[in-house]
Amino acid sequence: MIPTEAKEKITYESAGVHIDAGEEVVRRIKPLVRKTFNSNVLTDIGGFGGLYDARFPGMTNPVLVSSTDGVGTKIKVAIAAGKYDTVGHDLVNHCTNDILVCGAKPIFFLDYFASGKLNVDHGEAVVKGFVDGCLENYCALIGGETAEMPGIYAEGDFDLAGTIIGIVERDQIVSRENVKAGDVLIGLRSNGLHTNGYSLARKALVDILGIDAKPKQLAGETIGEALLKVHRSYLKPIHSLFEKYSVHDDIHALSHITGGGIVGNTSRVLPAGLALDIDWNAWERFPIFDLIQTIGNVPEESMRKALNLGIGLVIIANPHKVNAMKEHLQSLGEDPIIMGKVVTV
C-alpha cells in the first residue's frame, strides 16, 4: 500500500538545508566584502543583484571582458588539509589572469559557493579568500550565492565558481593578429601548480605519500602546503608592461597557462600556419613538479599537458623589444624566462 503522507513532519532543515547557517555566513562576511567596494558599487551584500555604475571617465571606447571559472579538484586538497582561506583567492586570481591576457583590468567579481552541509566557519574562510583576491586585483566583490545542496554534495564537500568582469579600451585589446614567425616567448614564473592538474597531483602525491608528508625535496613544506600555494595574479607586471610598450607593435599576444599546459594554451593565440618552438631546458622546474613525476611515474607528455611546469603566463613579444622587456620585468622583481619562439609550420 502506498502511504499518502509522511509519518513525521518534514522541514527544510530535516531535508538537510540550514537557512540559519546561511544567514550567519552572510552576517559574518558583510564587513569583509565591503572592504572591496569602491564608489562604483551601488548596492550592499544581500540584495537580489549587484549594481555597478557603468560610467568610466577617461575612457573613450570601453569594452567589457568577462570570464567564468572554477578551481577544480584543488578543493579536495584544501578539504584534506583543513585549509579553506586560499581557494577563493585562487579563483579571483585565475579569473583575473584570464581577462588580463585580453588586455583588461578587472572591475568586479561574483562568486558561487555550494556545499553539502554549510559549515559557517568554512564558508567565512572561503569568502575571506575571495576578498583577499579582490583586494589584490583592485576589483569589487559585488555579489554571489551560497548554496547548501544535500544530495548533490556529500557533507564536508563544496565547490566554487566565479565570474569576473573587466574593462579595456577597444584599441588596447590584445589579440593574436600581430603574432608572426620570429616572435619570442617570454615566460613569467608560476609559484606551483596554480589551479590545474590537481587530479594528477592528488593521485601521484596525496594518495601515495599523504597530505601531511614532508618529502626532503620540498625543504620542510608538507605536500598540502606546496599544493595550496595561491595561484599568482600577473595583473601588476603585465599592466606595467602595457604602460611602457605597445600592445600592437611590441606585445603581440599573451597566454595564461592553465589546463592543457604551455603548448595547449599558447597555441590558442597563434594564427594559422604558426607553431611554437619551446626550449624545455630554459628554466628549472620547481621540486613539486619533479616530485609528481617521480613518485607518480608520470610520463613527460602527461606532465606537459596537465601542468604549467613553472610557467604561469607567456608573453609573445617583438624580438627587437625582448631584452628591454626582460630588464623591465626584472626591475619589478620578476624572473622572466626566454623560453622559445614562434615558427612557421
Residue 98 has pLDDT above 60, yes or no: yes
SS3 272: coil
Domains of the chain in sequence order:
19-171 (3.30.1330.10), 184-344 (3.90.650.10)
Radius of gyration of the chain (CA): 22
User: Residue 337 and residue 312: Cα distance in Å, rounded?
Assistant: 11
Q: How does residue 3 score in pLDDT terms, banded at 50, 70 and 90?
A: low
Q: What is the mean pLDDT of residues 229-246?
A: 98
- The pLDDT, as a whole number, for residue 8 is 74
Is pLDDT larger for residue 6 or for residue 69? 69
> Strand pairing partners for 340?
185, 278
- The gap between the terminal CA atoms of the chain, to the nearest Å, is 72
- The pLDDT, as a whole number, for residue 301 is 96
Q: What is the mean pLDDT of residues 21-33?
A: 88
CA nearest 246: which of 196, 174, 138?
174
- Of 133-137, 162-166, 175-179, the poorest mean pLDDT is in 175-179
pTM: 0.93
The model's pLDDT over 118-156, given as tens digits with 9 standing for 90+, comes to 999 999 999 999 999 999 999 999 999 999 999 999 999
User: Residue 106 and residue 31: Cα distance in Å, rounded?
Assistant: 21
Is pLDDT larger for residue 227 or for residue 175? 227
- The pLDDT, as a whole number, for residue 123 is 94
Q: How does residue 218 score in pLDDT terms, banded at 50, 70 and 90?
A: very high
- The pLDDT, as a whole number, for residue 310 is 98
Average pLDDT score, the chain: 94
Name the pairing type of β-strands 105-115 and 158-169: antiparallel
CA nearest 288: which of 205, 195, 199?
205
- The pLDDT, as a whole number, for residue 21 is 83
Residue 1 has pLDDT above 60, yes or no: no
Residue 15 has pLDDT above 70, yes or no: no
User: Residue 269 and residue 277: Cα distance in Å, rounded?
Assistant: 14
- The pLDDT, as a whole number, for residue 33 is 93
Residue 178 has pLDDT above 70, yes or no: yes
Q: How does residue 19 score in pLDDT terms, banded at 50, 70 and 90?
A: confident
- The pLDDT, as a whole number, for residue 14 is 62
Measured CA angle at 141 (ends 140, 143), to 5 deg: 135
The model's pLDDT over 301-332, given as tens digits with 9 standing for 90+, comes to 999 999 999 999 999 999 999 999 999 999 99
Q: How does residue 23 score in pLDDT terms, banded at 50, 70 and 90?
A: confident
The model's pLDDT over 243-295, given as tens digits with 9 standing for 90+, comes to 999 999 999 999 999 999 999 999 999 999 999 999 999 999 999 999 999 99
Q: How does residue 6 score in pLDDT terms, banded at 50, 70 and 90?
A: low
Q: How does residue 22 score in pLDDT terms, banded at 50, 70 and 90?
A: confident
- The pLDDT, as a whole number, for residue 16 is 65
Q: Cell 611515474 maps to which residue?
A: 297
Residue 5 has pLDDT above 80, yes or no: no
